[in-house]
Copies of this chain bind each other. A is one copy, B any other.
Amino acid sequence: MHKATKKKVTIKDVARATDVHVSTVSRALSPNGRASLSAEVVTKIRAAADEMGYRPNRVAAGLRTSRTMSVGIVIPDITNTLFPPIVRGVESVLEGAGYASILVNTDNDAEREARLFDVLMERGVDGIIDAAVTNSDDKIVNMAASVPIVTANRLVEGSGIPAVINDDANGVRMMVQRLYDAGHRNIGLLAGPALLSTSIARRQAFEAAMHPLGLPANADVVAVSDNYTEDEGSRCAEYLLDKQPEVTALLCSNDRLAIGAIDALQGRGLSCPADVSITGFNDIPFLDLIPPGLTTVQILQFDLGRIAAEILLKRMTEPDARVPETTIMPVSIIERGSIAPPRNGRASTQS
């Protein structure tokens, strides 16, 4: 029975009440049961602690043990619906293991990110899940020397930092095939920001998938966005549609670009998929409700976070354990209504 206690009761109070030394209380309350305490004194202490409403002070414990039982979760922006499920996945593992999460948003600002790392380090987090890294990120590589880090959804190339990412290559390949099968021969790519690993991987995958089909995938059919936003999707779609009017399909590096592209289409009186087919990546929440229903590559957001957290947990609890450097999560195609045969009924050929 916890009494509603206003003033904090410490281990010392419990010791006094049970007439033992504080160290005995500490051991009695410690989960890793110290063998050398008699069962009766343990139960007596536990009962008293409970009765008195004792709550351990993890700040003090953290100072002594330098383990705060907290982790940092670094994401670009919590309002981007891609990330909350990942965060929940992370927490599903870490919360059960007793960790609390400090969540920070970088807004894709490197300077901000660096500052936030300091914030996390000053708080002595035991580990970090980072879903906001850029493809080459000095700061995080430095940090990785002093605290376990796992990146989620993105990776830092050649850093050796464990990463859990998606099978971008396969997702893009399958999607290109879908478009090809529908008859498209002029496919454009709305690529993501140049410095993100997802953008890079998907662009490479695009080229790798187009080539065997004898389709061009050079810079002419690619528009590189500055940001994974709807606005950038619109801008890039406009750009590409102007530059390459014969394009009949746009493969977008993520859903938000795709949404923006659809909007741009409508802006010039065209429609998706009648005039231009458009595909996305991620299958973010609510996407199914937005017309015309984007055909997209579904990633396992929650599981991605979950597995990243499992790896981090392993690194935190067994520092010497070997963990996979890169874990690739499977993806699948979700067919909705944004792919149709090319306009004017024929599969146009390029050049």
A interface residues with partner B (beta carbon < 8 Å): 4, 6, 8, 55-60, 62-63, 68, 70, 77-79, 81, 84-85, 87-88, 91, 100-105, 118-124, 142, 145-146, 259, 285-286, 289-291
Contacts and interface: CB of A to CB of B under 8 A. Distances in A.
Given A6-B146, A291-B291, 18 more contacts: A4-B142, A8-B146, A55-B121, A55-B122, A57-B124, A58-B124, A60-B63, A63-B63, A77-B88, A79-B84, A79-B88, A81-B81, A81-B285, A81-B286, A100-B102, A100-B119, A101-B103, A289-B290
Contacts of A78: 78, 84, 87-88
B59 A102 contact: no
Given A88-B105, A285-B79, A58 B123 contact: yes
A65 to B, nearest CB: 10
Contacts of A60: 63
A59 B285 CA distance: 37
Contacts of A6: 145-146
Contacts of A85: 79
A70 B122 CA distance: 11
A100 B125 CA distance: 12
Contacts of A91: 105
Nearest to A145: B6
Contact of A122 (B58, B81, B285, B289): B58
Copies of this chain per assembly: 2
Contacts of A56: 122
Given A88-B79, A91-B105, A290 B285 contact: no
Nearest to A119: B100
A300 to B, nearest CB: 14
26 contacts: A4-B145, A6-B145, A6-B146, A8-B146, A57-B63, A57-B122, A59-B62, A59-B124, A60-B63, A77-B88, A79-B81, A79-B84, A79-B85, A79-B88, A79-B285, A84-B84, A88-B105, A100-B104, A100-B119, A100-B120, A101-B103, A102-B102, A286-B286, A286-B290, A289-B290, A290-B290
Contacts of A105: 88, 91
A63 to B, nearest CB: 5
A286 B84 CA distance: 15
A67 to B, nearest CB: 10
A224 B285 CA distance: 25
Nearest to A291: B291
A119 B88 CA distance: 17
Contacts of A121: 55
A101 B91 CA distance: 15
Contacts of A63: 57, 59-60, 63
A132 B301 CA distance: 24
Q: Which of A78, A102, A290 lies at the interface centre, i.e. has the most chain B CB atoms within 10 A of its CB?
A: A78
A244 B345 CA distance: 49
A291 to B, nearest CB: 6
A234 to B, nearest CB: 13
